Chains A and B, each alone.
Chain A
């Protein structure tokens, strides 16, 4: 299975589309850093968890689109043509699906890691700081539920029709871009902006209100349910 994972991962990452997406994400990320983050989000330092979280929330839609794009590799016409052959191999289809999901997730994480590295480089060069410890919680809060949910929803929808993947991508884009209440928003950009303003102290340490944590939990739960459903043969 490790061999299959490596193969699928290389397929996703070692192609021009990945590099195209990476270039778009990094360019967009740079614009966000130089446009909004550099001024400090809600009176906090650009390198605070809030500024970092806001930056990630802005590039998240592109990362999610990239994830949908990776998924589309596995539901393309050509892929469906060879599915008869792969189905005939002695590999457990559910495990095979899981390996593919892991490859997509790994590819997406690589994309996200590049965006994170860009931001860290920005902090290091401009402000000479690299507060890795304080930046980890917002990254986990934002990326883990969002990427898993996006993956699961994409896998689940593509079982019915390949085009459904695009509908899911559009829906996820709306979930990240629309000014939804904090608990519903996938990108949490409103949370990263509003929490420091509402806090009683300046430069509040990173904290997550319980309802928001629950909503992330709900997204994770939904992701696992959809992944389970996606792995069940129709």
Chain B
């Protein structure tokens, strides 16, 4: 061991004195600069110019670029160093002095140490720049984790692969080809597979205002899985190190005599395979998104009259544990199977009815980021059903390349629906509404914001510094945001908007005039479509979420994506992006979608009529008024046309007979993209065509005003496509797109 350490010191010293190693280290230290210019893998919110969060521009992109360049450079250095003795013709001598089985790990650890040293220098060298450029949103923890996970871990993976390739082939050129193919796969065909893209991890955005631990965990998991796999591959290649003048098979046979060596390789490879298969981040929902999943026929004779949950998110591990109780009435006169839905990744630990354990079973299939479980209710008219649950909530597999939710950390939490507690799936409320109470225990510095029109009050302060908040609302589900938020009140058109945004974002929000933008949107919608009358107290919440690539609206609340207002957007407002697009869209949903409802699940699939069509159209009109006709045309109408054209030109749309030949995954992908395209692009384009046919914007505004304020049929309160067509005096044929 002492001899090995001495050799390691010698080898590392030799490596660090060599010009190739110094050149590689220097280039690696400089390589993050590529992320500021040429290689910017993070998603851009703008069509015309590059725009993402401040930390995305100045931290994540440089770190990812550094990882890519550093990996390539260190792989070449590894192959060159391992080939050095052979290239110089002194391998026979060196092998006689030090066993090649001893020299190989020493060389490997020297290279890994050089990579670690390079990483340390890189982080020190780029710290002042990043701190200066990021300004108020700079975060030391995010800086260290970004560089370690996005950049550093790529280097040992590359070194291990290159060393393995060389030990198998003993050829510089072939090892280089193998590495090129390995890197090429990651950059091209594997780039949309979050577990396979070892070189360019699926990092699409990074938050300025809130934490990024979920994303960091995911990247770390992928990189550690690869490290395990390549450690196994390296151990396997270690057995192939040529000895005693033998070739590969002879050396392998010789080295494998010590059984622990191949056993170790096999164990590492098996661990990597297990880590790959049993990843905890993404669910296994069915590929095809079926709109009827939540359109269930309720059980006769089973109802629920109230629910309560005691919820404990663990910010250290990103997990959540809780106990939920439901007051259920079973009037069927016999025991009854009922179903609940929960979050994939959760485990149901216990189910007790009136204090007695009852049987339950989890479904094996997951769908739309939910998994159902069946509970057998006893034959009793009143049942107090208690369910213990918890675990690490998984993301929906359709967003596997856009991970980051649900974040559960000491800085930010977004706890949606099944993340908080299981919900009854196939039985309804006993009364018109369902009282729901939830006690949520959060770190002391966090304040929860209940999405919707319920209320959150401080229930108790706990001895460990945490606080328990009581949430009171109605229904089976709740959505809670928690973080370091600033709250402002905005008065507009008779409404009061409680505007919540991250404290770090305050300077940007003030500089961007976010309050004024919100006011303008509300006044526009009120003036054109009429006042919102849905909220008895005349107020609703507007909540800034962690960067999510979109948002949503619900009764009493809308979201605003962090990326809507960024310093980058402010610095270059004329580049063509429509600032605050998500905020506008989600505010408009208060009118189209909530103020007027659309039956999404029962809508006629042939028309793509849903709340999105009118919402996207209205968003376009607001952007046109606020930012000018050119911006609106480029970012909306032209995009709709391009997407609709692209869709109708798609080979499989024109030749559906070939679609059946495809594997089911591709069929589902195409069907899902078809649905989204039609709702968000085709229908707004049809409404725009209707606007032209009815005589222009003013005429369309009058029609929409009439529809919004129409007499609602309480038995079917939905706005239908036929009502829209009738109000316009048009037919489906009239709105057919050429």
| Pair A69/B174 contact, Cβ less than 8 Å | yes
| Pair A44/B651 contact, Cβ less than 8 Å | yes
**B-contacting 9-mer, from A28-36, A100-108, A210-218:** A28-36
Chain B residues lying within 8 Å of A20, measured Cβ to Cβ, are 169, 174, 178
How near does chain A come to B621, taking the closest CB pair, in angstroms?
Answer: 30
Q: With contacts defined as CB atoms under 8 Å apart, how many contacts are there between chain A and chain B in the complex?
A: 71
In-complex Cβ contact of B181 among A35, A62, A203 (8 A): A62
| Pair B666/A36 contact, Cβ less than 8 Å | no
Residue B661 interfacial (CB < 8 Å): yes
* Other A-B pairs, 19, CB within 8 Å; known A43-B649, A61-B180: A17-B174, A21-B177, A28-B184, A28-B185, A28-B189, A32-B189, A35-B192, A36-B189, A38-B662, A39-B666, A39-B670, A43-B646, A65-B180, A68-B173, A69-B173, A126-B661, A126-B662, A166-B176, A169-B173
Residue A66 interfacial (CB < 8 Å): yes
Residue A40 interfacial (CB < 8 Å): yes
Residue interface mask A184-210, B partner, CB < 8 A = 1: 000000000000000000110000000
**A-contacting 9-mer, from B436-444, B652-660, B674-682:** B652-660
Complex CA–CA separation, A40 to B654 (angstroms): 12
Complex CA–CA separation, A92 to B187 (angstroms): 46
Residue B641 interfacial (CB < 8 Å): no
Complex CA–CA separation, A45 to B662 (angstroms): 13
| Pair A24/B178 contact, Cβ less than 8 Å | yes
How near does chain A come to B178, taking the closest CB pair, in angstroms?
Answer: 7
Residue B188 interfacial (CB < 8 Å): yes
Residue A46 interfacial (CB < 8 Å): yes
| Pair A43/B650 contact, Cβ less than 8 Å | yes
Residue interface mask A43-77, B partner, CB < 8 A = 1: 11110000000000010011001101100100000
Residue interface mask B153-196, A partner, CB < 8 A = 1: 00000000000000001010110111011001100111010000
Residues of chain A from 11 to 30 with CB closer than 8 A to chain B in the complex: 17, 20-21, 24, 27-28
| Pair B173/A45 contact, Cβ less than 8 Å | no
Q: Name the CB-closest residue of B to A166.
A: B173
| Pair A61/B651 contact, Cβ less than 8 Å | no
Q: Name the CB-closest residue of A to B177.
A: A65
9 closest pairs, A vs B, by CB?
A31-B189, A40-B651, A35-B189, A43-B649, A24-B181, A65-B177, A45-B651, A72-B173, A69-B173
In-complex Cβ contact of A17 among B171, B176, B189 (8 A): B171
Residue interface mask B219-252, A partner, CB < 8 A = 1: 0000000000000000000000000000000000
In-complex Cβ contact of B651 among A31, A46, A128 (8 A): A46
Chain B residues lying within 8 Å of A17, measured Cβ to Cβ, are 169, 171, 174
Residues of B within 8 A of A (CB): 169, 171, 173-174, 176-178, 180-181, 184-185, 188-190, 192, 646, 649-652, 654-655, 658, 661-662, 666, 670
Q: Name the CB-closest residue of A to B171.
A: A17
| Pair B177/A69 contact, Cβ less than 8 Å | yes
| Pair A40/B177 contact, Cβ less than 8 Å | no
Interface of A is mostly: helix
Chain A residues lying within 8 Å of B651, measured Cβ to Cβ, are 40, 43-46, 203
Chain B residues lying within 8 Å of A128, measured Cβ to Cβ, are 661
| Pair B177/A32 contact, Cβ less than 8 Å | no
Known A202-B649, A202-B654: A61·B184 in contact at CB below 8 Å: yes
How near does chain B come to A222, taking the closest CB pair, in angstroms?
Answer: 24
Complex CA–CA separation, A66 to B666 (angstroms): 32
Complex CA–CA separation, A45 to B658 (angstroms): 9
Complex CA–CA separation, A202 to B645 (angstroms): 11
| Pair A31/B185 contact, Cβ less than 8 Å | yes
| Pair B650/A40 contact, Cβ less than 8 Å | yes
Chain B residues lying within 8 Å of A61, measured Cβ to Cβ, are 180, 184
Chain A residues lying within 8 Å of B169, measured Cβ to Cβ, are 17, 20
How many A residues face the partner with a CB closer than 8 A? 34
In-complex Cβ contact of A38 among B171, B180, B192, B666 (8 A): B666
Complex CA–CA separation, A64 to B651 (angstroms): 31
How near does chain B come to A211, taking the closest CB pair, in angstroms?
Answer: 26
Known A32-B188, A45-B658, A68-B173: A40·B180 in contact at CB below 8 Å: no
Chain B residues lying within 8 Å of A72, measured Cβ to Cβ, are 173
Complex CA–CA separation, A43 to B646 (angstroms): 7
Q: Name the CB-closest residue of A to B176.
A: A166
How near does chain A come to B131, taking the closest CB pair, in angstroms?
Answer: 34
Q: List 21 A-B contacts (CB under 8 A).
A: A17-B171, A20-B178, A21-B174, A24-B177, A24-B181, A31-B188, A32-B189, A35-B188, A35-B189, A38-B666, A40-B650, A40-B651, A45-B655, A45-B658, A58-B188, A61-B184, A62-B184, A69-B173, A69-B174, A166-B176, A203-B651
How near does chain A come to B571, taking the closest CB pair, in angstroms?
Answer: 27
Complex CA–CA separation, A21 to B169 (angstroms): 12
Chain B residues lying within 8 Å of A58, measured Cβ to Cβ, are 188
| Pair A173/B180 contact, Cβ less than 8 Å | yes
Complex CA–CA separation, A121 to B185 (angstroms): 22
How near does chain B come to A53, taking the closest CB pair, in angstroms?
Answer: 15
Complex CA–CA separation, A66 to B177 (angstroms): 8
Chain A residues lying within 8 Å of B189, measured Cβ to Cβ, are 28, 31-32, 34-36
Complex CA–CA separation, A120 to B319 (angstroms): 49
Chain A residues lying within 8 Å of B173, measured Cβ to Cβ, are 68-69, 72, 166, 169
In-complex Cβ contact of A31 among B190, B646, B661, B666 (8 A): B190
Complex CA–CA separation, A44 to B670 (angstroms): 15
How near does chain B come to A113, taking the closest CB pair, in angstroms?
Answer: 19
Chain A residues lying within 8 Å of B178, measured Cβ to Cβ, are 20, 24
How near does chain B come to A57, taking the closest CB pair, in angstroms?
Answer: 12
How near does chain A come to B343, taking the closest CB pair, in angstroms?
Answer: 30
Complex CA–CA separation, A203 to B658 (angstroms): 15
Complex CA–CA separation, A28 to B189 (angstroms): 8
Q: Name the CB-closest residue of B to A65.
A: B177
How near does chain B come to A80, taking the closest CB pair, in angstroms?
Answer: 13
Complex CA–CA separation, A202 to B653 (angstroms): 13
How near does chain A come to B202, taking the closest CB pair, in angstroms?
Answer: 15
Complex CA–CA separation, A173 to B176 (angstroms): 12
Chain B residues lying within 8 Å of A202, measured Cβ to Cβ, are 649, 654
Chain A residues lying within 8 Å of B190, measured Cβ to Cβ, are 31
Chain A residues lying within 8 Å of B649, measured Cβ to Cβ, are 43, 202
| Pair A127/B188 contact, Cβ less than 8 Å | no
Complex CA–CA separation, A43 to B184 (angstroms): 25
How near does chain B come to A109, taking the closest CB pair, in angstroms?
Answer: 18
Q: Name the CB-closest residue of B to A170.
A: B176
Q: Name the CB-closest residue of B to A129.
A: B658
How near does chain A come to B187, taking the closest CB pair, in angstroms?
Answer: 9
| Pair B661/A28 contact, Cβ less than 8 Å | no
Q: Name the CB-closest residue of B to A202.
A: B649
How near does chain B come to A169, taking the closest CB pair, in angstroms?
Answer: 8
Complex CA–CA separation, A24 to B652 (angstroms): 30
Chain B residues lying within 8 Å of A69, measured Cβ to Cβ, are 173-174, 177
Q: Name the CB-closest residue of B to A39.
A: B666
| Pair A40/B184 contact, Cβ less than 8 Å | no
Q: Name the CB-closest residue of A to B670.
A: A39
Q: Name the CB-closest residue of B to A28.
A: B181
Known A24-B181, A28-B185, A61-B184: A40·B652 in contact at CB below 8 Å: yes
Complex CA–CA separation, A17 to B652 (angstroms): 40
Chain A residues lying within 8 Å of B174, measured Cβ to Cβ, are 17, 20-21, 69
Chain A residues lying within 8 Å of B177, measured Cβ to Cβ, are 21, 24, 62, 65-66, 69
How near does chain B come to A32, taking the closest CB pair, in angstroms?
Answer: 6
Complex CA–CA separation, A173 to B169 (angstroms): 21
Complex CA–CA separation, A166 to B654 (angstroms): 46
How near does chain B come to A121, taking the closest CB pair, in angstroms?
Answer: 14
